[in-house]
């Protein structure tokens, strides 16, 4: 029963295709040569999910859309000239159109969603995660657990809509340092950075707390069989990556360790003004990079061009991101966003 419940819903596409094929075969005899067809409309959307396997676990990358990062304004530790050179080498311009990715792990017994996108907190170019989830064949009510890398808007904003839980059956997990920081009224009153998150994070978590569906953890923890948190503090006080392990394969979902890959993979010392502690964030990034360069496991990033999957290699002392899949290389540019389908979804 669990396997059936976790499987993407099957449509009657085969039956429909058969009927359409029969109908077209009849119509085609009279249509050919009689009149020109109307021009096909430009869709302006892209595939919003991408599946791959890690051992026996099926991973689905889900697009929440894109955000613009004004790199010259926000990146620290690099000159404007060097920044422009690095962006140009990757065919990018400033502001950098940046993916917002989340990852769904189907273990066969449980559905775990890592991050929830921005919801309605950051404008129309983002907030498409539910549409992507539905396109992938799932519904929000099927999600068993939600693991948050941290509580910034573009990761936790999708937890709620209109004050209600988007994932009604899910237990939400985050590092205790993270939740304590953002839920603190004293911090909200005295800390100047991340003001919006001091509003959004409590609003996102409170419906789950009230329903006894928020369960914080402390640092490195096995949260469910094959999925463990990896403390990587700095970007926020309780930022975590998540390692997914099945058989002899691993995937590290590293959240916001990287915002502009064209710069920070080659220069991990470059930080972003969103970092709560830039020095600690740099240290966490270097530590994870060194680990990944040795382990050669798959890596997935929240702000790597969708689907955000690849490997990290060390070459000549410089860390470089080598795409694990060909589609990574062609998904790096453009403002095409997933077709939005979530308005009609009931939220319980």
CATH number at 190 reads: 3.60.15.10
CA–chain centroid gap for 288, Å, is: 18
What pTM was estimated for this model as a whole? 0.83
317 within a domain of the structure (yes/no): yes
Task: Write phi, then psi, for 133 (nearest 5 degrees).
Answer: -60, -45
Q: How many folded domains does the chain comprise? A: 1
35 within a domain of the structure (yes/no): no
294 within a domain of the structure (yes/no): yes
DSSP string, 216-284: -B-SS-EEETTEEEEE-TTSSTT-EEEEEEETTEEEEE-TTS-S-HHHHTT-TT-EETT-SSHHHHHHH
Task: Count how many Cα atoms sit within 13 Å of the Cα of residue 152 in the half-sphere of its side chain.
Answer: 19
> What is the reported pLDDT for 35?
52
Those residues with Cβ within 8 angstroms of residue 70's Cβ, 6 or more apart along the chain or in another chain: 94, 95, 96
Per-residue pLDDT of the chain (348 residues; tens, 9 = 90+): 444 445 555 444 444 344 433 343 444 444 445 456 788 888 777 789 999 999 999 999 999 999 999 999 999 999 999 999 999 999 999 999 999 999 999 999 999 999 999 999 999 999 999 999 999 999 999 999 999 999 999 999 999 999 999 999 999 999 999 999 999 999 999 988 888 999 999 999 999 999 999 999 999 999 999 999 999 999 999 999 999 999 999 999 999 999 999 999 888 999 999 999 999 999 999 999 889 888 889 999 999 999 999 888 776 666 565 543 222 222 333 333 444 444 333 333
311 within a domain of the structure (yes/no): yes
Range of the domain at 181: 49-323
53 within a domain of the structure (yes/no): yes
> What is the reported pLDDT for 293?
84
Distances in whole angstroms, Cα of residue 276 to Cα of each of 208, 237, 335: 25, 7, 29
Which sign does the torsion angle of CA 6, 207, 219, 294 carry?
Answer: positive
> What is the reported pLDDT for 84?
97
335 within a domain of the structure (yes/no): no
Question: CA-to-CA distance for 230 and 250, rounded, in angstroms?
Answer: 13
> What is the reported pLDDT for 342?
40
211 within a domain of the structure (yes/no): yes
162 within a domain of the structure (yes/no): yes
Instruction: Pick the closest to residue 47 from 59, 32, 60, 31 (CA basis).
Output: 60
> What is the reported pLDDT for 315?
65
Q: How many CB atoms lie within 10 A of CB 293?
A: 15
């Amino acid at each position: 029963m669990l396997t059936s419940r976790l499987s993407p819903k099957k449509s009657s596409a085969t039956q429909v295709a058969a009927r359409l094929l029969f109908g077209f075969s009849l119509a085609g005899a009279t249509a050919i040569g009689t009149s020109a067809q109307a021009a096909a409309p430009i869709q302006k959307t892209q595939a919003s999910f991408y599946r791959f396997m890690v051992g026996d676990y099926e991973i689905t990358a889900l697009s929440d859309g894109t955000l613009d990062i004004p790199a010259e304004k926000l990146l620290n530790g690099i000159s404007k000239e060097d920044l422009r050179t690095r962006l140009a080498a990757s065919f990018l311009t400033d502001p950098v159109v940046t993916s917002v990715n989340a990852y769904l792990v189907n273990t066969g017994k449980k559905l775990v969603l890592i991050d929830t996108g921005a919801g309605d907190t950051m404008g129309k170019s983002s907030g498409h995660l539910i549409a992507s989830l539905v396109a992938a064949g799932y519904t929000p009510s099927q999600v068993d657990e939600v693991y948050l890398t941290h509580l910034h808007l573009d990761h936790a904003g999708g937890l709620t809509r209109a004050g209600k839980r988007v994932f009604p059956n899910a237990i939400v997990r985050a590092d205790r340092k993270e939740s304590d920081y953002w839920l603190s009224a004293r911090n909200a009153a005295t800390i100047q950075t991340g003001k919006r998150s001091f509003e959004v994070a409590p609003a996102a978590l409170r419906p789950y707390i009230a329903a006894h569906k928020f369960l914080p953890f402390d640092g490195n923890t096995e949260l469910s069989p094959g999925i463990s948190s990896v403390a990587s503090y700095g970007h926020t006080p309780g930022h975590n990556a998540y390692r997914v392990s099945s058989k002899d394969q691993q995937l590290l979902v590293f959240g916001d360790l990287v915002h502009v890959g064209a710069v920070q993979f080659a220069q991990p010392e470059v930080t972003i003004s969103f970092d709560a502690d830039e020095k600690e964030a740099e240290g966490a990034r270097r530590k994870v990079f060194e680990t990944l360069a040795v382990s050669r496991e798959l890596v997935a990033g929240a702000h790597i061009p969708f689907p955000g999957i690849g490997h990290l290699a060390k070459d000549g002392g410089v860390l470089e991101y080598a795409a694990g899949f060909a589609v990574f290389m062609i998904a790096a540019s453009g403002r095409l966003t997933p077709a939005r389908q979530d308005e009609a979804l009931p939220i319980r």
